[in-house]
Structure 1
Amino acid sequence: MDFDRDYAMLIDGRLDSGSARFDVLNPATEQVAGSAPDATRGDLDRAIDAARAAFPGWAATPIAERKAALNAMAQALLANIDGFKRLLTSEQGKPHAEAEREVMGAAYWLMGAASLDLPVTVNEDSANRYSETRRVPLGVVGAIAPWNFPLSLAMFKVAPALLTGNTMVLKPSPFTPLSTLKFGELVKDILPAGVLNIIAGGDALGPWMTSHKGFDKISFTGSTATGRRVMESAAPTLKRVTLELGGNDAAIVMPDVDVEKVASDLFWAAFRNNGQICIATKRMYVHKDVYEPLKEAIAAYAKTVKVGDGSEQGTQIGPINNEGQYRRVLELIQDAKDKGYKFLVGGEKADVPGYFVPVTIIDNPPEDSRIVQEEQFGPVLPLIKFDDYDDVIARANASEYGLGGSVWGGDEDKALEIAQRIASGTVWVNETQYLSPTAAFGGMKQSGVGVEGGVEGLLEYTSAQTIVRRKRAPVAA
């Protein structure tokens, strides 16, 4: 495959360059990384029509064959890791090593989903009747993937939807469409025509999809504000929705941690992928007994981390992906400056091309500060001192979000006890951001609706159908 050009949509098993195109920028250089098709309403209609036509045949395909298709897509990705990682870095900004892990993660998710089976529940098996409840596919799914993990988060949707017998129209973010379009080219001969369609476009395409009568379900990953609009747009036709939305994840660090051992783990809990992860630690509560040594250890470690162009050797953190998010992160930093908060590291923007924000750590800002209350989605972390567990748990839970959280401590039983009181969909103990295709992942409160992953994630793409069969009365001899 040529990863440097020819980015086309996949509609009904054929590549389509579209009638108009838009440029995709490399966030490290602000130069054009490539151009993508800008789908029209007609392109969307054709993609939905293709998916609708392909649905009966795909739904009737034995699940073993659908699993084989997922595994084949995974193997195709793994065979092209180098090309995908370089393309992903050029449009998203993450370092090559992180991009490679994302490609591998996308393949892992496809294979993990292929290991799952849909449940069948026998409700009654009596002399008079047999009743069972099985799961049937919904139809055509519209999937909208974000820019922070373009490939892997797309597979969070592709894998369960296709495994359960649905067909799909997938839209990547306009900031990162190139690698997803290449994925379409890669798998177009693995799947029957129309089963998976991939289209790209600007800001208008998402609302066209969410309001389109041709979709039976919308699966969206993105901000809570946009998620509200997606739900509103889907309501008139009662589309099913899965919404994986924002988070303001709290980490609680207990006084018995090994400061030197845990400092780097805590740093990456917040700053992996430049903080552009929905389940990144966004606020870190540290017990007063270890606050001073831990803040110094994290700050010292931060100064050793290389920020730069993701294509350069040794880069560990790349740029913010797009200008809008870049401006928002700078605004939060400026607000902290204006309020007089103390900065342990960072805070000063480098005068270089690209959307680079230095790793920034803020020392014990007040609970009501914007940097504590809002999701930054960038390389800025507030460290906050606490001395009472009941109080810190209340503070962690006093948020409209409830996506993830973590607890760190030497006493694992105590850490687990605290974790169970955190009002979030996933809570980790002594690690963070571990997700599995065999385990449910979703948010509480305004962090989302529904789940992804595990059998529960498969069920999101199905309806329950109960079949009741009246048994014939036995014939008298």
Structure 2
Amino acid sequence: MNTIEPNDITRDLAKQLVKTKVVLNAAYIDGNWEAIVPSSTIDNKNNVHSLYDPSSGEVIATTQLCTKVHVDAAVNAASRALPLWSQTTVSERASYLNSIADEMEQQCRELIALSVLNTGKPIEEAKMDVSDAIACYRYYANLIVKQETWSEVSILESGVRLLKTYAPIGVCALIVPWNFPMVTTSWKLASALAAGCTVVLKPSEVTLLPELILGNILSAIGLPKGVVNILPGAAEVGTAMTSHILVDKVSFTGSNGVGEKVMSQAAKGVKDISLELGGKSAIIIRADADIAAACEIIIGGIFTNAGQMCSATSRLLVHQDIAESLYQKLKEYTQNIHVGDGFDPMTQMGPLVSQQQLQQIERYFNIAIEEDLDCLIGGTVLDRSGYFACPTIYTSVTTSSGLWQEEIFGPVLVSTTFKNDDEAIKLANDSLFALASTIVSSDEQVALEMVLQIKAGHFWINEQQILLPQAGWGGFKQSGIGRELGADGLSAYQKSKHVILPD
């Protein structure tokens, strides 16, 4: 990605881009931006949507949202495009994916600026998001050309051969969340296109600004019409997508409550489904851990993106022998976190994405007061414009606490101690969720043995929450169904075919 200095990214630049580059009041259908024209005064009132700057709470743009009428047009366009797109060569699909990445690199400054404006993320986090999205498109471009059209399966019986090939699932409805715009879009879109599927994409209506640039990019690279359709819409649009008879697969990332509804809707027509849902991940600090290094990893796992991550390691398990020393150091580190405007290069943690999200965090602060939890630091929202909460840590939290059991989706860490590895493993597994986990220990082999006993889909040992496109992503229990990223992510958009023929 191009070298970008923080001074290149300003609020004034982002606001100018909203006026000149982002296509609002339109849906990207069949390769063109189509104006969203309300059919009545009631429609006009109900579908006008405001986008906010989380650092100030100010409205930065308004737009019309799609309705289910646009869903039908988009799905039909994707269905018409499927026969030709599914028969393109893998090299052709790889070329388009690389072209998307190239265009994103050329426009990375603009994408970063729009992300900071619309999400409140610090500049460095927004830069990582754009870089990660680019890497994902390039990864699947490289992966698909390596997939053999035919592979022979070894069998013991004589006289026959068994061949295997793959076919795209078909028309895919992709619904992405607001916490990582562009990133989760790339996870779904890159693998779907690589597999030969056509797509109807619904970005979150909360963070439309960086997402809508994708339509411009697809037109610029000459992607065939109808292969990708983008619908800025709310829940009504998502429901129409997941229940549409011409949709073959649904991929959804979001809350468990909505995920259950999506699963029910996708049952119509027996659609293939992938769900990436909630998390309440554990971070285990063994007695042999380096305390300073552990604090850095703890902070990265809970305060990155203001804790708005499904993978947030929001349950801290500390060996009792080092708990007092670690808590003291962790408090010092947390006190030094600079909370502020995402456009300020000094900012390390930005605001929550919306007023609704801030109110959610404040509700948990009040629950903590009712439960008389020990607050090491934080526990309040900031008295300033925008949607800011303090980085917060509670200690000696019982497993029956609502803060221990429920996904908060904010900068709130709950902690308890353990006596030995067996107890740590039991505590880590005592959750309805099982998405990710971190272990900090000087003994890598012991940590790896713990991985085998902890139920989660992704682990970090002595490392920050780095996500690689090569590594499959997804969890167990109520954290979802299926995997994204890696070879598993490609397989999620393919169906295998087997052929038996004479030897």
Asked if TM exceeds 0.5, the reply is: yes
Q: SS state of the match for residue 3, structure 1?
A: helix
Match of 1:194 among 226, 232, 246: 226
The 10-residue stretch of structure 1 (120-129 or 407-416) with the greater mean CA deviation from structure 2: 120-129
Q: SS state of the match for residue 219, structure 1?
A: strand
Q: Return the offset for 1:127.
A: 8.3
What do the CA deviations read for 1:292-345 (whole angstroms, capped 9, x no partner)?
Answer: 111111110111111112122311111111222221111111111122111111
Q: After TM superposition, list the pairs within 5 Å mapping 1:15-164 onto structure 2.
A: 15-20=33-38, 21-117=48-144, 118=147, 120-123=150-153, 129-164=160-195
* CA distance, structure 1, for counterparts of residue 87 and residue 158 of structure 2: 31
1:14 aligned partner: 32
Q: Return the offset for 1:470.
A: 4.8
1:474 aligned partner: none
Match of 1:271 among 282, 285, 303: 303
2:488 aligned partner: 456
What do the CA deviations read for 1:130-178 (whole angstroms, capped 9, x no partner)?
Answer: 4312110011100000000011001000000000000001001111112
Q: SS state of the match for residue 413, structure 2?
A: strand
* CA distance, structure 2, for counterparts of residue 203 and residue 309 of structure 1: 30
Q: SS state of the match for residue 17, structure 2?
A: coil
Q: Return the offset for 1:201.
A: 1.0
* CA distance, structure 2, for counterparts of residue 413 and residue 293 of structure 1: 25
Q: Return the offset for 1:435.
A: 2.0
CA contact (8 A) 1:116 1:438 kept: no
Match of 1:342 among 362, 370, 374: 374
* CA distance, structure 1, for counterparts of residue 228 and residue 323 of structure 2: 51
Match of 2:328 among 286, 289, 296: 296
Letter in 2 for 1:13: G
Q: Return the offset for 1:247.
A: 0.6
* CA distance, structure 2, for counterparts of residue 149 and residue 315 of structure 1: 18
Letter in 2 for 1:123: V
The 10-residue stretch of structure 1 (150-159 or 42-51) with the greater mean CA deviation from structure 2: 42-51
Q: Return the offset for 1:348.
A: 2.1
The 10-residue stretch of structure 1 (275-284 or 116-125) with the greater mean CA deviation from structure 2: 116-125
Q: SS state of the match for residue 193, structure 1?
A: coil
2:5 aligned partner: none
Q: SS state of the match for residue 399, structure 2?
A: coil
CA contact (8 A) 2:68 2:236 kept: no
Letter in 1 for 2:118: E
Q: SS state of the match for residue 82, structure 1?
A: helix
* CA distance, structure 2, for counterparts of residue 342 and residue 439 of structure 1: 37
CA contact (8 A) 2:164 2:497 kept: yes
What do the CA deviations read for 1:181-236 (whole angstroms, capped 9, x no partner)?
Answer: 11111222321111111111122111111111121000001112211111111112
Q: After TM superposition, list the pairs within 5 Å mapping 1:394-409 onto structure 2.
A: 394-409=426-441
CA contact (8 A) 2:78 2:226 kept: yes
Letter in 1 for 2:31: G
Q: SS state of the match for residue 299, structure 2?
A: helix
Q: SS state of the match for residue 415, structure 1?
A: helix
TM-score under structure 2 length normalisation: 0.90
2:210 aligned partner: 179
Q: SS state of the match for residue 271, structure 1?
A: helix
**Percent identity at matched positions?**
35
Q: Return the offset for 1:452.
A: 0.5
1:328 aligned partner: 360
Match of 1:428 among 433, 442, 460: 460
CA contact (8 A) 1:146 1:153 kept: yes
The 10-residue stretch of structure 1 (141-150 or 337-346) with the greater mean CA deviation from structure 2: 337-346
* CA distance, structure 2, for counterparts of residue 141 and residue 172 of structure 1: 14
Letter in 1 for 2:110: G
* CA distance, structure 2, for counterparts of residue 445 and residue 347 of structure 1: 30
* CA distance, structure 2, for counterparts of residue 57 and residue 37 of structure 1: 32
The 10-residue stretch of structure 1 (344-353 or 135-144) with the greater mean CA deviation from structure 2: 344-353
- The verdict on how the C-alpha distance between 1:128 and 1:365 changes in structure 2, with shifts beyond 3 A counting, is closer
TM-score under structure 1 length normalisation: 0.95
CA contact (8 A) 1:252 1:408 kept: yes
CA RMSD of aligned residues (A): 1.7
1:218 aligned partner: 250
What do the CA deviations read for 1:28-64 (whole angstroms, capped 9, x no partner)?
Answer: 2121122334112221111111111111111111001
Q: After TM superposition, list the pairs within 5 Å mapping 1:183-262 onto structure 2.
A: 183-190=214-221, 191-262=223-294
* CA distance, structure 1, for counterparts of residue 294 and residue 128 of structure 2: 23
* CA distance, structure 2, for counterparts of residue 308 and residue 49 of structure 1: 45
Q: Return the offset for 1:123.
A: 3.4
1:418 aligned partner: 450
* CA distance, structure 1, for counterparts of residue 29 and residue 233 of structure 2: 14
What do the CA deviations read for 1:408-439 (whole angstroms, capped 9, x no partner)?
Answer: 01111111111221100112211142222222
